[in-house]
Structure 1
Amino acid sequence: MEDNYEGQLPHLTTEIVADARGPELDAYALALEGWRRGLELKWYTKDSEDFSGMKTWFTDKPGKLFSLSNGVRVHYFFKTRGDKIANSAVDICTDKAVTKRWLEEAGIPIAPGKGFKSENTDEEIVRHASSLGFPVVIKPSDGSFGKGVYTNIKSTGELKAAIKKVRTTHSATNIVIEKHIVGQDYRVFVCDGKVVGAIKRIPANVIGDGKHSIKQLIEMKNQKREDNPRLVSCMIKPNAEMVEYILANKYTYESVPESGVEVYLTDKSNISLGGDSEEALSSLSTDIKEICIKAIRAIPGLPHGAIDIIVNEAGVHVIEINPTPQIGSLLFPLVGKATDIPKYIIDFYFPETKGLQTDRQKIYYDFSDALEPLFNRNALVTTVKMAPVGTIYSKKYTVSGSVQNKGFHRGLRKQAFERGLVGYLSNLDNGDIEVVISGTSKEEVEQFKEAFYEDTERAEVLEIEEIDWNKPVKVGFEIRADLKTGLEDLQRLISEKEQLEKEIRLAKKEIRNTKNSSSWKLTQPVRKVTLPIKNYFKKKN
């Protein structure tokens, strides 16, 4: 798959992260960075005792918990949050009302507002909102991804309806009311006292072309988002709230906007709700960056994290702080140059590895293979094969002749392992094979050509073409022909299993029908007499 925009990081192409799209993308990108520097990488299930002292929230699905070690010390990570972040900092940031108090005490500009608990009445909340002045925002104290957030509430009636939705539909006992701030929405990433990345977040929208309806434009934009490893899991999904919003702006899904007209589908800028991401680090002023750094420092035990801010003519307003932020939009913004957030995090945890990521764009590991034992519950932890660190040399050999023997292929794999090389072999439709070989020894990579001539009993090599190879290669050695055969065998076994299950169901049905038949019921007294006699002679014989 080709890169979908010019600003993509060369060591995080769509091919490399293909198996880690969605919620696992952040953890994989961070773990991959550390692994490429020669650190030992382990992946864990939620049952592992290694994470018993770390606050984590996740489903049973593996791919979020991992550790990196340099042989002397180990650091543990949950997604993008490492163990240098204190649990107490996580507790503070998880509760938006508590976060606001810490920021306010540190003199950080915030959106005016207040937290309310389950015992507070609707009337108390309405009175506070009136004192702030409409419009206001209501949201759960512990919410995320924009769920349960209602913005730009302009009246008491709207507020009462929103309170009911937050407390019932979203089951939020504690909520926050704050002044609705209009302005540009940014997510800023701070690590070790420096602003290292920022994106502008734009609410889900489409741009008219004078030909297609809003519904069609959404479908077209979603097709573009599918090419982005982060946005592929953040499609624009029409719902009742979106219908209300576009109706309020004099549109319907069937409306055809004029060419160049931008139509917003919501006023929430969350990327997870279909918002756009635009790289913005260079556009932020020094003053804004300094406020973001101070906001992180205001939370004890929080050396890195993301700050959500609104910027307008009145200045900066810090909205939230996230100690476990998603970084996919910084790695794969819809517009602009990507920011290498994993580099800064690994620099912070393992500063001695800063110069050890040479040729990192040329090597990676299979994420699905690494997690398979965890998914199958065969293990609570898996260790990824160590990465070759240093300059990576790669060749692609196209071998002609009688070279389709599986034993020959497996012999080549054995040779690759013995030489400390990685790569893959695949069969071509014309009967040739294609072999890609990579390693840190230029001599071993070039001498691998000799391996094709060594197994004369199982292969006859007529010609070898070789070229330098610059694309990424997985560690290990994959025989893709074997994988294809294995998949065919698996499909055959699945078909046989389905046929056997069908036959068993039919047999059981036939037995049930027989037992319910009149003849079976009428002969039951006879069977009661003859069955003991049959059993007696069976034992005697």
Structure 2
Amino acid sequence: MQSLKLKPGEYISPDIFALQGFEDLEISTQIIIRDALNRGLEVEVLDRKNHFLRIKDAFGKIQYVKEASKTDLDSYMTFLVMENKTISKIVMQESGLLVPVGDGFGDAESALSFWNSNSQKRMVVKPVTTNFGIGITILPPKASSEDAKKAIKIAFNHSESVIVEEFAEGNEYRFLVIGDETVAVCNRIPANVTGDGIHTIEELVAIKNEDPRRGFGHVTPLEKIQLGDTESDVLEQSGFTKDFLPARDQKVFLRKNSNISTGGDSIDVTDLANSYYKELAVKAARSVGAKICGVDIILKNLESKADYRILELNFNPVLYIHNYPYEGKNRDVGNKILTLLGF
């Protein structure tokens, strides 16, 4: 066990995302350690591999924090409800919130039958319990039955049940709720490169990956863009290969999912978000009793009140996309969690 506390007058700058001596820990955990130490708190790393901390103040108050945002503020049942996307959709719907139309299925035959009756629409197939966009497939209108079966099989590889639902049109945003407030909003853009008229897609990926903020395993603010089978498939669907030379300012996407964990870009849009959507995010978190929650909302115009769909609730939202976005302000969300914990 490792115990840390700063000496009077010492301060660790949040401008440098990598915390010396803790570069192996996920960056969200590094944020909590840094912010706690800067508050004069004692931090004990109880289980480094599992990112498990114990934080103490001078008055004997103790709080346990796992993976930066798992705390005793949220009950185990709240965690289970948010983890199960079918149940969280039901709860949100009952609270008057709009969610994509769809259903959960425990067998491939029923899931395929539901898709068949909706195959003229763009549909999403995903595991009931998943994170980081793992196991999710977007099927275009009139996709082949073989593609649908493959998507369902992939989803079942990650969960005992799957969801088949309509694809909500618009841009996806992550709203971070801490307590009774939306403290940050992030637009997560799928892995992409922008042409310069000189370099190929493969070369542009290599250039973008030189950014020191990109790494592997959530220990940096951004993940390196890959050029594996998934990226190749996405490029092929757009009529490109990795050797294609995009025109100047031509944006080429290498992923369909917008997760930062697969090389996406995080853009802070907190100041642009209409208060209507911020309030919806708080209502969604409150519907399942969550104090710390990532709310993923699809909408067409962030700045104006309009149609929306809440895709899912995240029980362990990452902090680093809000503190160290690809573009935008540091929203200092680690300190907001510490304040909510009573420090």
1:163 to 152, 156, 163: 152
1:62 to 43, 49, 71: 49
Question: Which residue does 1:311 correspond to in 2?
Answer: 299
After superposition, what is the alpha-carbon deviation per residue over 1:201-220, rounded to whole angstroms, capped at 9, x for unaligned?
00111001111100000111
Note closer, same or farther for the CA distance 1:32–1:202 as it changes in structure 2 (3 Å cut).
same
Deviation at residue 127 of structure 1 after TM alignment? 2.8
Percent of aligned pairs with the same amino acid = 23
Deviation at residue 273 of structure 1 after TM alignment? 0.4
Note closer, same or farther for the CA distance 1:15–1:287 as it changes in structure 2 (3 Å cut).
closer
Note closer, same or farther for the CA distance 1:323–1:164 as it changes in structure 2 (3 Å cut).
closer
Q: Distance in 1 between matches of 2:195 and 2:25?
A: 31
Note closer, same or farther for the CA distance 1:332–1:240 as it changes in structure 2 (3 Å cut).
same
| Amino acid in structure 2 at the alignment position of 1:260 | D
After superposition, what is the alpha-carbon deviation per residue over 1:149-192, rounded to whole angstroms, capped at 9, x for unaligned?
1114432522122112333xx34321111111121111111111
Q: Secondary structure at the match of 1:263?
A: strand
Matches within 5 A, 1:19-168: 19-21=21-23, 24-45=26-47, 62=49, 64-70=51-57, 71-79=59-67, 80-117=69-106, 120-122=107-109, 124-132=110-118, 133-154=120-141, 155-157=143-145, 158-167=147-156
Question: Which residue does 2:254 correspond to in 1?
Answer: 265
Between the two structures, name the one with larger relative contact order (CA 8 Å, sep ≥ 6): 2
1:238 to 218, 227, 232: 227
Unaligned runs of 5+ in 1: 1-9, 46-60, 354-541
CA RMSD of aligned residues (A): 2.1
Q: Secondary structure at the match of 1:187?
A: strand
Q: Distance in 2 between matches of 1:22 and 1:204?
A: 24
Residues 135 and 152 of structure 1 are in contact (CA less than 8 Å); yes or no, is this contact kept in structure 2? yes
Residues 209 and 260 of structure 1 are in contact (CA less than 8 Å); yes or no, is this contact kept in structure 2? yes
Q: Distance in 1 between matches of 2:231 and 2:49?
A: 33
1:188 to 175, 178, 193: 175
Unaligned runs of 5+ in 2: 1-11
Q: Distance in 1 between matches of 2:219 and 2:312?
A: 21
| Amino acid in structure 1 at the alignment position of 2:299 | V
Q: Higher helix share goes to which structure? A: 1
Question: Are positions 1:280 and 2:280 aligned together?
Answer: no
Q: Distance in 1 between matches of 2:78 and 2:24?
A: 26
Residues 277 and 334 of structure 1 are in contact (CA less than 8 Å); yes or no, is this contact kept in structure 2? yes
Deviation at residue 231 of structure 1 after TM alignment? 4.6
Q: Distance in 2 between matches of 1:131 and 1:108?
A: 25
Q: Secondary structure at the match of 2:182?
A: strand
Aligned residues: 321
Q: Distance in 1 between matches of 2:159 and 2:24?
A: 26
Q: Distance in 2 between matches of 1:151 and 1:230?
A: 28
Question: Which residue does 1:215 correspond to in 2?
Answer: 202
Q: Secondary structure at the match of 1:163?
A: helix
Q: Distance in 2 between matches of 1:230 and 1:333?
A: 14
Matches within 5 A, 1:244-393: 244-300=233-289, 302-312=290-300, 315-350=307-342, 353=343
Deviation at residue 312 of structure 1 after TM alignment? 1.7
Q: Distance in 2 between matches of 1:196 and 1:22?
A: 27
Note closer, same or farther for the CA distance 1:227–1:241 as it changes in structure 2 (3 Å cut).
closer
User: Relative to structure 2, which stretch is displaced further, 86-95 or 233-242?
Assistant: 233-242
Q: Distance in 1 between matches of 2:165 and 2:25?
A: 29
Note closer, same or farther for the CA distance 1:108–1:25 as it changes in structure 2 (3 Å cut).
same
Deviation at residue 259 of structure 1 after TM alignment? 0.7
Q: Distance in 2 between matches of 1:213 and 1:19?
A: 38
| Amino acid in structure 2 at the alignment position of 1:129 | W
Q: Distance in 1 between matches of 2:93 and 2:61?
A: 37
Q: Distance in 1 between matches of 2:70 and 2:223?
A: 22
How does the TM-score come out when normalised to structure 1? 0.56
Residues 230 and 332 of structure 1 are in contact (CA less than 8 Å); yes or no, is this contact kept in structure 2? no
Q: Distance in 2 between matches of 1:307 and 1:280?
A: 14
Q: Distance in 1 between matches of 2:24 and 2:265?
A: 16
Question: Are positions 1:205 and 2:192 aligned together?
Answer: yes
Matches within 5 A, 1:483-522: none
| Amino acid in structure 2 at the alignment position of 1:29 | I
